[in-house]
Amino acid sequence: MLELAVPHRRFHRSFLAAADEFLAAGEGRYAHLLDWPADDTFPGLSVTRESLESPQAFEEYAAFLVAQAERDAPRPAHFVPMTDLWMADGDTYLGRISVRHRLTDVLRTWGGHIGYAVRPSARGHGYARQALTAALPVCARLGLDPVLVTCDPDNHASRLTIERCGGVYEDTREGKRRYWIATAARRRRRIRTGG
């Protein structure tokens, strides 16, 4: 059964196996290995698959991700706070969903409030839809209503996920389909029923 879990050391081996799957599929950008640039306020951060082999390094990485929900956590100046949640079945890492607490100009076009990725071996089971549905109350608690979710025009699975979760298509900009989803349960029901 799918749960959204905070990043934790219990997912160490499963996370690395998922990273291997993403890398083998040529989808390294979804492996959640960070390569954050340095700027005047942040020294930069590069997290590789190899650097996470150590249980201690992985635990520090998980704690770093959890801390990113805090407004003043260390990050590049143009990055925003985010709540990172991992899709899990027991101790098995299935993927992740990230809620960005506000939009920048770049996120307004490319990334939106929510980004998610399901490991290749776990696709086709509805995990993205379940995770997106479960993340909407998290967004509501953060005061985000509605939220922007984007996908590539040729990513039909993601497009269906967003639409099944109440996504209302706005437009396509710079190669990204943009949808808005109401996060308050009462408003989601009204959008679905048209009432």
* DSSP classification of residue 112: B
Angle between helices 127-141 and 185-193 (to 10 degrees): 130
Distance between CA 180 and CA 150 in Å, rounded? 9
Per the DSSP assignment, residues forming a β-bridge with 148 are 180
The dihedral built from the CA positions of residue 35, 90, 182 and 163, taken in this order, carries a sign that is: positive
Round the average pLDDT of the chain to a whole number and report it. 94
Contact (CB, 8 A) for 182 and 146:
yes
Residue 46 neighbours by CB under 8 Å, 6+ apart: 34, 35, 36
Print pLDDT tens along the chain (195 aa): 899 999 999 999 999 999 999 999 999 999 999 999 999 999 999 999 999 999 999 999 999 999 999 999 999 999 999 999 999 999 999 999 999 999 999 999 999 999 999 999 999 999 999 999 999 999 999 999 999 999 999 999 999 999 999 999 999 999 999 999 999 864 544 444 343
Q: Smallest Cα–Cα separation from 19: which of 33, 38, 40?
A: 33
The pLDDT tens digits of the residues spanning 126-171 come to 999 999 999 999 999 999 999 999 999 999 999 999 999 999 999 9
What is the widest separation between alpha-carbon atoms in the chain? Answer: 53
